[in-house]
């Protein structure tokens, strides 16, 4: 009798465990996974519409691509084409949209972006709009239209998108700093990014100036207190608490790579005195 009771309890426990596992959302946004594991993530900036250049960036080792649609002439059609061309790349596509409008965010999510980077956040309403338009009901008002998101992330995309799409709010001005705590408190915000150069431009202060650093410290403190990711330029990798970084773009990386080769640095995987095989894919 006792053995039967134990067996019943064991079966019940296993059934409960299986049910709990089934309820766990499928997370395919590896950036979100890495941040949850306490790791730092770095994104390479992409402004070119060339799919080959995009794929080179997306497979170079970055955690995500920072697709630049605020300060470039990229169209959503071009962006969709290059993201689809590199389906399965290790870097997750993030898009810095021109603004937190319904049209911009719907197009970015429909093409398969799992990260929405919102520039110039100086009102709570702007970041609230970003969450609203990026999330499906009941957490938002994203409509279910056409797009390549299913081809990118699977047939269960509608059921899993809200758990995988990340919202990154950029603070670029003293006005944004002043409401940093309110920005970080908006449900659905995953990261707050300190735009170092613009913060200097809008404040008239240089990095290192005590007043500038006090603004950066304020954002730092409120964001970490909320348990969110804290972003900044790649040059800030050694600053305490920062774990989400924007690295340089394809132009600067091509330039630095060319300079290394011309200075005599060997190409990756090359053997001394042996020319690479033309047409061979880099490993």
Mean pLDDT, residues 192-208 taken together:
97
The answer on pLDDT for 102 being more than 50 is yes
**Short-list 194, 180, 166, 162, CA closest to 124:** 180
Distance CA 76, CA 94 (A): 13
Residue 53: both structure tokens together: 């250049």
282 or 200, greater pLDDT: 200
Q: Name the packing angle between helices 51-58 and 76-85 (round to 10°).
A: 50
Mean pLDDT of 91-96: 98
> pLDDT value at position 19?
43
Q: What is the pLDDT of residue 263?
A: 87
User: Which domains does the chain possess?
Assistant: 39-262 (3.20.20.60)
For residue range 224-266, list pLDDT tens digits in order: 999 999 999 999 999 999 999 999 999 889 888 888 888 887 6
> What is the rounded radius of gyration, in angstroms, for the C-alpha atoms of the chain?
22
Strand partners, 194: 171
What is the number of other CB atoms lying within 10 angstroms of the CB of residue 207? 14
3-state secondary structure of 154: coil
Buried b / exposed e along 102-134 (16+ C-beta atoms within 10 A): eebbbbbbbbbbbbbbbbbbbeeebbbbbbbbb
Whether the CB-CB separation of 279 and 272 falls below 8 Å is answered with no
**Position 145 confidence tier, pLDDT thresholds 50, 70, 90:** confident
Q: What is the mean pLDDT of residues 86-104?
A: 97
Grade residue 280 by pLDDT with cuts at 50, 70 and 90. Answer: low
pLDDT beyond 70 at 198: yes
Cβ atoms of 203 and 215 within 8 Å: the answer is yes
Q: What is the set of active-site residues?
A: 71
Q: Which residue, 16, 68, 26, is CA-closest to 43?
A: 68
Supply the pTM of this predicted model: 0.86
């Amino acid at each position: 009798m006792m053995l039967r009771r134990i067996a019943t309890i064991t079966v019940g426990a296993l059934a409960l465990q299986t049910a709990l596992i089934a309820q766990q959302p499928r997370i395919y946004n590896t950036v979100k996974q890495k941040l949850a594991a306490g790791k730092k993530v770095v994104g390479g900036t992409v402004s070119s519409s060339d799919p080959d250049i995009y794929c080179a960036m997306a497979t170079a080792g970055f955690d995500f691509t920072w697709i630049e649609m605020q300060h470039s002439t990229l169209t959503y059609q071009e962006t969709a084409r290059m993201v689809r061309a590199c389906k399965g790349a290790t870097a997750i596509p993030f898009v810095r949209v021109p603004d937190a409008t319904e049209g911009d965010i719907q197009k970015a999510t429909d093409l398969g972006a799992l990260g929405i980077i919102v520039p110039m956040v100086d009102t709570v309403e702007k970041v609230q709009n970003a969450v609203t338009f990026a999330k499906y009901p009941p957490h938002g008002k994203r409509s279910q239209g056409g797009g390549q998101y299913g081809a990118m992330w699977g047939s269960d995309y509608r059921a899993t998108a809200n758990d995988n799409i990340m919202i990154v709010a950029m603070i670029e001005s003293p006005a944004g700093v002043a409401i940093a705590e309110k920005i970080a408190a908006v449900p659905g915000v995953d990261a707050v990014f300190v735009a170092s150069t613009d913060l200097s431009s809008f404040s008239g202060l240089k990095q290192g100036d005590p007043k500038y650093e006090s603004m950066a410290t304020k954002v730092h403190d409120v964001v970490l207190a909320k348990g969110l990711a804290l972003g900044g330029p790649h040059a800030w990798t050694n600053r305490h608490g920062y774990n989400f970084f924007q690295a340089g773009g394809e132009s600067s990386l091509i330039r630095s790579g060319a300079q290394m080769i011309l200075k005599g640095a060997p190409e990756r995987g090359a053997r001394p005195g042996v020319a690479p095989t033309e047409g061979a894919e880099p490993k």
